[in-house]
Structure 1
Amino acid sequence: MAGVRARQLAFRTFHWTVLAVFSVLLAFPFYWMLITSFKRTGDLYDLRNNPFVFNQKPTLEHLRLLVNETLFLRWLGNTAFAGLVVVAITLLLAVPAAYALARLTGRWGGRIGIAIFLTYLVPPTLLFIPLSRIVAWLNLQDTLWAVIVVYPSFTIPFSTWLLMGFFKSIPPELEDAAMVDGLTRFQAFLKLVIPISLSGILTVVIFTFTLVTQGFVYALTFISSASHQTVGVGVPIYLVRGDVYYWGSLMAACLIASLPIAVLYNLFLDRFIAGFTVGSVK
């Protein structure tokens, strides 16, 4: 008995130690952004101060600079709008495409799905020139619609491939039974397949929205005016002026922009993991 209790105690100690270490590592970036956002400039640059605590009274000067002297709130709105539109376009095209390929008989469904996914692996630098020509042809230069048109070319292939594996894990017999009960194929898709596939669809939503918020190269290239920028481009451009880094405002912008996504990940973590694992293992 004593040996069993000792092993259980050792296991619990190891378990909680690992959990504590990973919790600290994951939470530390947010703590660092939070404390830097409210530190005074003199406190930040004084090497004699402890960087992990407030050595002087907290200040709101960095938040005032961020809100009053930049278009940060406008950039947040642009990013949210572009993200929601790209998510809608991706779901509208990827979900029916993935379902059709998953139910395609023979080997062609899987082959076409892999071919679509391979387009996602093409380096963005190779697509830079043709996409710029398309943006110019559509007369979308220096508008937010330039990135809205470009980003689905990356999100749709990956989302289609991911959802294909998820739809394949759903037995076709369920749809056959629904159609026997009087539903059409489309009604069975909407009322049966979609609810079962919410985990995979949520994974696509999080992946797509995160990609838009982190996009830099195309937003930097296709958008030049400050009022049309997204957070990923506007913050580093207008808060890094030459060799002067506005660290407090930079950290405040990063914290505000990353918190909603972090909360979204944590709220739907189980569904997010299921979206990857169920779709990849049949």
Structure 2
Amino acid sequence: MCATPVSSSQIPSDPGTTAADCQPANSLIVVRWRGNEAYQTSFDAMREFTAARDANTSDEIWLVEHPPVFTLGQAGKPEHLLVENSGIPLVQIDRGGQITYHGPGQVVAYLLLDLRRRKLMVRELVTLIEDAVIETLAAYNLAGERKAGAPGIYVPQDASGASAAHTGAKVAALGLKIRNGCSYHGVSLNVSMDLNPFLAINPCGYAGLETVDMATLGVAASWRDVAATLAARLEANLAAHAATLLTVAEAAATDPSAEAAAVDPAAHAAPGGQPPQPQAGVAPAA
């Protein structure tokens, strides 16, 4: 069954997406190009989509570019907004993490996924998203790396070329909300934008953290090109995860011990020995 859009006018499908593409929701992902859209519109639509979905609803990735806006996470501290009356609206939202900025020239990918159906843990999803960003940057000959305890992607300390002047700077931010085993919110990748608004905040709660975009690192690429590359990498990584589960299931059909060997609950255990659950309310943005 194809997913029911929140509003046909609000969620225009990518010209390459047809009704035939809305196949069984357990594997295929519908990519929707929403274009330039007010943050509040996207936020309301994500929550409405997630509340209305059922077992047959297809998973979706929404690609969006927002007008200037600061967003503050569920437990965010307002003092991380350093400049009052900046002229940029501040929206309190329900993802994890502190404050960040969205604006023109930034690709935002929202992942509306049924994690239970995909047998995908929250930590696995974060890793999958970060991998997709690193792979997207690599497609433009840029390096990116993780930082322990700080979700997102950063310029490596040993970066060369134009990136060498911006080591440690953040190029992509990530934040999720999990409700009833389903995710929304997602990841933002800075392509070519006015970076000055980041100076008005402690990005993701880190005072003095430099924020950078791909243009500053020497890449001239269009918003749509980068968005398409990121969406393709997200789809590929999700498909690879699903294929791994299928392989395990096939092995278990012939050897019941294979599934236990391939899927070790201890590998997904959180501190204290309890595996993290998709129902956990928020995953941090950073």
- Normalized per residue, the structure richer in helix is 1
The one of the two structures with greater contact order (alpha-carbon pairs below 8 A, sep at least 6) is 1
TM-score by length of 1: 0.25
TM-score by length of 2: 0.25
- Normalized per residue, the structure richer in strand is 2
Could you say which structure has the larger radius of gyration? 1
